[in-house]
Amino acid sequence: MKSPKRSLRIRTRLILTFGLSALLITSGISILTYFLVRGNLIENRDQSALSVASVNARQAERRIFEGATDKAVRDFLSNLRGVRAESTAVLRLETDWISADPVVFAAPDSIDTKLLEIVNSSPVDGAKMKYRMGNDTPVLVVGFPLATRNALYFEATPLDDIEDTLNSLANILMLVSGGVFVFGIALGMWSTRRVLFPVEEVGQTARAIAVGDLSARLDVGNDPDLEMLASTFNQMANTLEKRIQADAKFASNVSHELRSPLTTIMASIDVLNSNADSLDESSKLALDLLNADLERFKQLVEDLLEISRYDVGVNALTLERFLIVEFLERVTEQRGDEGINIDFPFEINDVLIEADKRRLARVLSNLLDNADHYAGGATRIEVQVNEDTLMLSVIDDGPGISREDQSSIFERFARGTEGSRRGSSTGTGLGLSLVAEHVKLHGGSVEVWSANSDGSGSIFTITLPGVIR
């Protein structure tokens, strides 16, 4: 099965588009510039070489007399001025070759056979050819026939200066292209940041709403292109807020309405409990079932009321300072869980925490209740203090929680696979979600993972700020 292809982020694509566009445009201009300069330099050199060689050829035709010695001819050729100081003249008199500098330009080996054939065919305007000599030097060789003397005149002009110029130009253009590419990337990053800022603002506002801030809204601003998006988003947020508030109000109203008949039912059950000895065995069994379900029903109503307060945003912390260890010992004692080992370093015995004592007690009780219902009870409570942060862990040796359930166990009415297997008679499905809400209200976090490598056992850890040393 093929894994899905991961596409680049919009930000990355935009930045690369800016950078590559700048690179392509600059590269195109650089290539065009290079070839224009190259063509211009070569054309000027060709014209100059042809013109100078033509003059020198006519001069040689007039001044080299019949029977002149090789030395006299060589001296004459050496005194001719070419396009460059490095230019070298070569003369063929009948079958003899005489070079102004045999070391640099030794004829006929230094003359291409094709050029020799062309010049030998007596073109009036001469002929030219570019090639590399044996020492890999680029040259332009121009040839003219001397009709009156049965001779051929050649003049070789090195092109290494043009080649060096073009190489330097190519390096400069490559550096410019690289610099423009970097500039394009920087411009892309700056432009993308400005262009995507509204999108990031939408994301931040959406995240704020997702974590419970229902009042978060987008600033419509004065941008007509974004006004519709911002207005639509805010309208959606308003609708969502109203819906959540309506649902919370409904849950709160239902919970309040259930309290009166619940109180009546509990009073009636108390009457039955006081006369339980007079009931037959089947009636006692029914009464026990009623007591268990009534207690669960009562807890469910209280949890729904608590949850509804969070949904409408009316919950507030009542902060007070108290000893961490003393608080844990009192809560476990009140619950009848004195047998649970509280593991903490000796140095935090006198450490205080500033928190809502009632809510924190509810958090600890809910975690211990969860361990009682699904794991046979908690085995120990671990306490750690890091600077100004409290880490409180409730550990059990139960069957554990699957990875899938760990990611959703703090959602409302989520009791995991184990809770579903045990049936609906155990727990309300709101205990852990209330733990998450209480902890989040304190600015903390809660998480769960397996205690053992085989997946058994669970560790519920809450992290809270507010430690005072």
Q: Are 374 and 422 in contact (CB under 8 A)?
A: yes
Give this prediction's pTM: 0.49
The dihedral through the CA atoms of 339, 343, 345, 350 has a sign that is negative
Give the strand order in the sheet containing 467-468: 319-323, 352-356, 467-468
Per-domain residue ranges for the chain? 10-164, 239-311, 319-468
DSSP-derived pairing of the beta strands 352-356 and 341-343: unpaired
- Tokens read off for 222: 């004065």
Distances (CA, A) of 39 to 46, 76, 138, 157, 170: 10, 33, 16, 17, 14
How far is Cα 99 from Cα 113, in angstroms, rounded to an integer?
A: 17
239-311: CATH architecture? Orthogonal Bundle (1.10)
CATH topology of domain 10-164: Beta-Lactamase (3.30.450)
User: Amino acid identity, residue 457?
Assistant: G
Residue by residue, DSSP assigns 133-188 as -TT--EEEEEEEEEGGGTEEEEEEEE-HHHHHHHHHHHHHHHHHHHHHHHHHHHHH
Give 319-468's CATH code, choosing from 3.20.20.70, 3.30.565.10, 3.40.50.2020, 2.60.40.1220: 3.30.565.10
Contact 340, 375 (CB under 8 A): no
Q: Evaluate the omega torsion of the peptide bond into residue 108 and state whether it is cis, within 30 degrees of 0.
A: yes
**Residue 326 — φ and ψ, nearest 5°?**
-60, -40
**pLDDT digit string (tens) for the chain, length 469 residues:** 444 455 567 778 888 888 888 888 988 999 999 999 999 999 999 999 999 998 998 888 888 776 678 888 888 888 888 888 888 888 888 778 888 888 777 777 788 888 888 888 876 778 999 988 777 889 999 999 987 777 889 999 989 899 999 999 999 999 998 888 888 888 888 877 777 677 777 778 877 777 667 777 877 665 666 677 778 878 888 887 777 777 666 666 666 666 667 677 777 777 777 877 777 778 778 777 777 777 777 766 676 667 666 666 667 788 999 999 899 989 988 888 777 888 888 778 888 999 999 999 999 998 998 898 888 888 999 999 888 899 999 999 889 888 888 888 888 777 665 554 444 455 667 888 889 988 998 999 999 989 888 888 999 999 999 888 7
**Three-state DSSP class for residue 414:** coil
What is the CA angle 358-364-368, rounded to 5? 140
Residue 132 token pair = 């590399």
